[in-house]
Amino acid sequence: MSPRTRLRPTLVASAATVVLLALGFTGTAQATAPATAPSSAGRVGDDPDQPDNPLYDAPEGIQVSSGREAVSLSWSTLSAATGYEVYRAEAEGTDPDEVGPYALLATVSTGAYVDSDADPDVAYAYKVRALDDAGHVSPYTEPVRGTRDTVAPFAPRDLTLAREDERGVTLTWRSGDSDAVKYVVYRSESPNSTRTKVGSTTSLTFRDTKGDPGLTYGYEVRGVDAAGNESQASNRVLGTKTVTAATAPKAPSLGNAHLVGKRLTLSWSQSPYVPVSSYTVYRSKTSPVDITDPANRVATVTRTEYTATVGEDAGERDYYYAVVATSQHSVSSPASASSKPTYTAPRPPGATEVYDIAPGAGTVRLGWYAVPYGSDESRVTGYRVYRSTSPHVTKENAEFRQDTRDSAYVDRALTGGTTYYYAVSTLNEDGLESALSPEVSATPSA
């Protein structure tokens, strides 16, 4: 019988007296109910020294979780409890008698405790009891065992390539007689490159469907135990997702996207493992670019770059661009990420420097350095040679000028014995001109 329903002996005696009185007056036994229900003082706790103990039951549902960094405990709370005492003892064996003396580990106010001070790989027994502000305590829970487990399982063995097809690479392996509860599969493009986690499984087989078709990966498998410890790697095997006529190329990776003045430059990279025959460029005012709308198609090219001259109005700077690759079998890739080109106002190109000047019979030959330009700069289209018979030649006082696309020029039909002064500027596709190079001079012979 539950302590909640036990009646005091005095109450039982009172009931018998009522029965006897009834027999004395009527000859018939009739039990009369007490006028009031028994009070809480009539309840008897499990501890005879605490007959009014409201904590007559131990906390229920105690559970333990062994982790790599700590041992975690949880239990159901009691409505009458204000705290819980957690006790711990070393557990040397499996029998209850093989548990060392318990010591109070902590007092907490909730139904959970994390023992992060447990020594690694030592088996412990835990038990809990409830308490209240009046000094009552409950019975202890049944002991549970836990370990802060830092020992990794054995590595899986005999990793084998089971199948290669257009759906992916299928692997199988043996458990290695370990305590692993799951297996993590990694792949890399070379033995020394960064490995990438591609998935996990609780079985001894796995299919990688996400690799790039045509690209050979190296695979390895590692076991993971219940505490999260990961084993050493299995042996490494190679596998390749097969390329077929139905295989779509990988989406291009759009890199540079620049708008310098009116000059638009896009460039991208492409995975080489599925042959690509062309690229289609799309644009729209919103991102991502809708490649299903024919009105958004801009151009089709065969190289991994696209250049164009766009309008000068500010609205031309508000477009996003995306690129789609098409295979030799007319299978299209997903679209690249949409990118809005960075805008740079046109600026003059860099100045050059004449490094060679050679007079001849009625001629002077000049050579100068070609001027480089970056992806965010307008393309250099040529050079302009300035000549004067007076020193300190400028663009304004020059007596002669000549444009050329080369980085050399031969000035002819000159007067022998006359000294000529030269300077060279750089021109770009925006029609802008650089400052003049340092002045040089030469005197041709007759």
**pLDDT value of position 7:** 31
Residue 176, pLDDT > 90, answer: no
Mean pLDDT of 252-279: 93
Instruction: Report whether 352 contacts 426 (CB < 8 A).
Output: yes
Mean pLDDT of 307-334: 91
Q: Which domains does the chain have, with CATH numbers?
A: 3-40 (no CATH), 75-146 (2.60.40), 157-240 (2.60.40.10), 253-344 (2.60.40.10), 354-442 (2.60.40.10)
Instruction: Report whether 206 contacts 170 (CB < 8 A).
Output: yes
Burial class (CB in 10 A: 0-12, 13-18, 19+), 201: middle
User: Residue 345: pLDDT band by 50, 70, 90 thresholds?
Assistant: confident
User: Residue 386: pLDDT band by 50, 70, 90 thresholds?
Assistant: very high
Dist CA 275 CA 273 (whole Å): 6
Instruction: Report whether 326 contacts 333 (CB < 8 A).
Output: yes
| DSSP code of residue 212 | P
Q: Which of 20-24, 58-62, 68-72, 299-303 has the lowest mean pLDDT?
A: 20-24
Mean pLDDT of 174-203: 93
Q: How many CA atoms lie within 13 A of 346 on its CB side?
A: 18
**pLDDT value of position 52:** 79
Q: Which residue has the higher pLDDT, 288 or 47?
A: 288
For CA atoms 130, 136, 142, 143, the dihedral sign is positive
SS (H, E, C) 115-171: ECCCCECCEEEEEEEEECCCCCECCCCCCEEEEECCCCCCCCEEEEEEEEECCEEEE
CB-based contacts of 253: which residues, under 8 Å, 6+ apart?
268, 269, 270, 336, 337
Q: Which of 45-59, 173-187, 227-241, 405-419 has the lowest mean pLDDT?
A: 45-59
User: Residue 60: pLDDT band by 50, 70, 90 thresholds?
Assistant: very high
**pLDDT value of position 172:** 98
Residues present in the chain in total = 446
Residue 16, pLDDT > 50, answer: no
61 conformational bin, left if phi > 0, alpha if psi -120 to 50, beta if neither = left
Query: Cα torsion at 237, 240, 241, 243 (round to 10°)?
Result: -170
Q: Which residue has the higher pLDDT, 233 or 313?
A: 233
**pLDDT value of position 126:** 96
Q: How many CA atoms lie within 13 A of 196 on its CB side?
A: 10
CB-based contacts of 121: which residues, under 8 Å, 6+ apart?
147, 148, 149, 150, 151
Strands, sheet with 320-327, edge to edge from the N-terminal-most edge strand: 297-301, 276-284, 320-327
Residue 190, pLDDT > 50, answer: yes
Coil, helix or strand for 295? helix
Tell me: the pLDDT tens digits for 73-90?
A: 999 999 999 999 999 999
Tell me: the pLDDT tens digits for 21-49?
A: 233 333 333 333 333 333 333 333 445 45
Residue 118, pLDDT > 90, answer: yes
Mean pLDDT of 338-362: 94
Dist CA 210 CA 203 (whole Å): 19
Host H or E run for residue 427: strand 420-428
**pLDDT value of position 371:** 96
**Does pTM surpass 0.85?**
no
Residue 330, pLDDT > 70, answer: yes
Q: Which of 61-65, 99-103, 230-234 has the lowest mean pLDDT?
A: 99-103
Question: What does the DSSP assignment read for 35-99?
Answer: SSPPPGGG---SSTT-TT-S--S-----EEEE-SS-EEEE----TT-SEEEEEEEEB-SSSGGGB
Candidates 97, 271, 231, 207; CA nearest to 151 is 231
